[in-house]
Amino acid sequence: MAKKLDLMDLKQIITLHLNGCSNREIGNTLGVSRNTVNQYITQFKSTEIPLNELLELEEGDLRELFTQRTTIDNYRFDELMQYFEGMKKETYRVGFTFLYHYKTYSASVSKPYSYTQFMEHYNRRYQKVKGSMKLEHKAGNELMIDYAGKKLYVTDKDTGEMIPVEIFVGILPCSQYTYVEASYSQQRADLLTSIANALQYYGGVPRAIVSDNLKAAVTRASKFEPQINKSLKDFAQHYNCVINPTRTYSPQDKALVEHAVNLVYQRIYYPLREMVFFSIEDINTRIKLLLKPYNDLLFQRKEASRLELFQSIERSELKALPSTPYELKDYTRAKVQKMGYAYCSIDKNYYSVPYRFIGQFTQLSVSNSLVEVYHNHTRIATHSRNKTAGNYITVKEHLCSAHQAYSSWSPEYFKEQAKKHGISVMMVVEHIINKAIYPEIAYKRVMGIIQLHKDYSSERLNNACERALYGEALSYNYIKNILKNNLDTEMLDIDNLKEVKSHIPKHENIHKENTYN
């Protein structure tokens, strides 16, 4: 089936005809048969509209005049369109040229279009109106950052291994005042450190930091609304500025920093080409020495240096640096456990939160010195960080009343509680705790004994404990059975008393004389 009329080819026929080309030449140029050109020239003349005026007609008017014919060889055109589909994916690669792909296309088909038609068909299929504008950069408005594509190297003294290092480049686009620094990686910690050092170098903070779509800066790239990672947002908040990643596939957004990188190759990399460095500090020391003349160099047209422009028009527009340096933070999520603690997987510790958040999901922000716990973006707890794993870090006020009492448990605590109900109760509690391998094992047992006073009174509990002491049966169940069977109200048998008296645990509060005699 013939395709609809290609109006672009139609106007090309008219243009070539007006330029004096023969029908055969037109056919060869456009890749159509001479008979097809003849038919269209005949149609043009039959409209009685001058050819110059046909060229000026809108597409809709031309379509109405020529709806039945096509100048397109369907198979040949389809070959071209299929090639364009593959070629389009390559247009953003470094070094792409249309001429290279035209030669590849020409070699792969039997009847290739001319290069002019190749480009006309491509531009028609991928119509894009591109504007070019001169970007005016306001003083103190932006800091553009990027990493150089080429590496410098640190040499290991022992092994001779050459370790590649990254080169961070920052530029204030208004004055083009440039900062350069070497770091071991482009990871988040190194990136934020380099930006902080750049701001310290400038002595102030711009309104925005324009970054490339670095993995350390952007969680999800997007041409219009990239997602910034939380650490970089927190960094920007600390410095009272914003992060503005460049659009993907839009190198014009950061043309100045790209140009700065190329200049860094010339003014810094090249002078260092013969040098060997054994530490990253050595590289940065040398970079600072070369950076000064780089920023002092006069612009040919502006008759001023980067430093002079910075000092005269840009430095005063920067905002003040914060009073404290930024602390890098890590983030993790945790569900608050039934005990009222959120587990921090970063340092493997447990941090308390107010008990009303038990069962809720929280986010932990972990810096070098602090752990902050957030629920629905509201901070609910702050702790000093403990880097030794396996600890429970507790703020007592976070716990419910029952848990607060639990956190106060100790041998002294239980002895004081038992003493309120009688000397014998205290002796039983003290004996149970002292005999336990770990005091904590006995806490629940003695708590159960003490709480028997609620059902039987303190007096009866003390009598029951006294009987248990003589019988050396110091357990919760034995004392409870004494109370349940009212054995605490019965007098101890004197003969039995003599037999078991020697087994009574010694204690300073027991009278030397037997009170039953």
Higher-confidence residue of 105 and 31: namely 105
SS (H, E, C) 132-187: CCCCCCCCCCEEEEEECCCCEEEECCCCCCEEEEEEEEEEECCCCEEEEEEECCCC
pLDDT number for residue 282: 92
What are the domain boundaries of the chain? Answer: 7-125, 142-317, 330-401, 409-501
pLDDT number for residue 419: 86
Question: What tens digit of pLDDT does each residue of 261-302 get?
Answer: 888 888 888 888 888 999 999 999 999 999 988 888 877 666
Mean pLDDT computed over 47-67: 69
* Cα angle for residues 33, 36, 41 (degrees, 5° grid): 130
Contact yes or no for 268/295 (Cβ under 8 A): no
Question: What tens digit of pLDDT does each residue of 374-416 get?
Answer: 988 788 898 988 888 888 888 877 766 555 555 566 778 788 8
Render the burial of 215-240: b for 16+ CB within 10 Å, e for the rest: ebbbeebeeeebebbebbebbbebbe
The secondary element (H helix, E strand) that includes residue 335 is strand 330-335
Residue 196 pLDDT > 90: yes
pTM: 0.48
Say how far apart CA 443 and CA 429 lie, in whole Å: 9
pLDDT number for residue 515: 38
pLDDT number for residue 285: 92
pLDDT level of residue 224 (50, 70, 90 thresholds): very low
Say how far apart CA 80 and CA 59 lie, in whole Å: 23
Q: In a 3-state reduction of DSSP, which class is residue 373?
A: strand
User: In this structure, what token pair is assigned to residue 157?
Assistant: 């003294």
Contact yes or no for 371/353 (Cβ under 8 A): no
Say how far apart CA 31 and CA 17 lie, in whole Å: 15
Say how far apart CA 244 and CA 129 lie, in whole Å: 25
Look at 14-28, 149-163, 456-470 and tell me which has the smallest mean pLDDT: 14-28
Look at 69-73, 303-307, 456-460, 488-492 and tell me which has the smallest mean pLDDT: 69-73
Quickly count: other Cβ atoms within 10 Å of residue 395's Cβ: 14
The mean predicted confidence, pLDDT, of the chain is 77
Length of the chain: 517
Say how far apart CA 502 and CA 266 lie, in whole Å: 98
Nearest Cα residue to 233 out of 188, 267, 177: 188
Residue 132 pLDDT > 50: no
Q: In a 3-state reduction of DSSP, which class is residue 27?
A: helix
Say how far apart CA 278 and CA 42 lie, in whole Å: 81
Say how far apart CA 43 and CA 475 lie, in whole Å: 116
| Homologous superfamily (CATH) for 142-317 | Ribonuclease H-like superfamily/Ribonuclease H (3.30.420.10)
Residue 82 pLDDT > 90: no
pLDDT level of residue 354 (50, 70, 90 thresholds): confident
Residue 250 pLDDT > 70: no
Mean pLDDT computed over 480-486: 87
pLDDT number for residue 130: 44
pLDDT number for residue 68: 44
Among all chains, which residue has been given the structure tokens 């340096």?
A: 325
pLDDT number for residue 134: 46
- The interaxial angle of helices 23-30 and 7-18, nearest 10 deg, is 140
pLDDT number for residue 390: 82
Higher-confidence residue of 294 and 220: namely 294
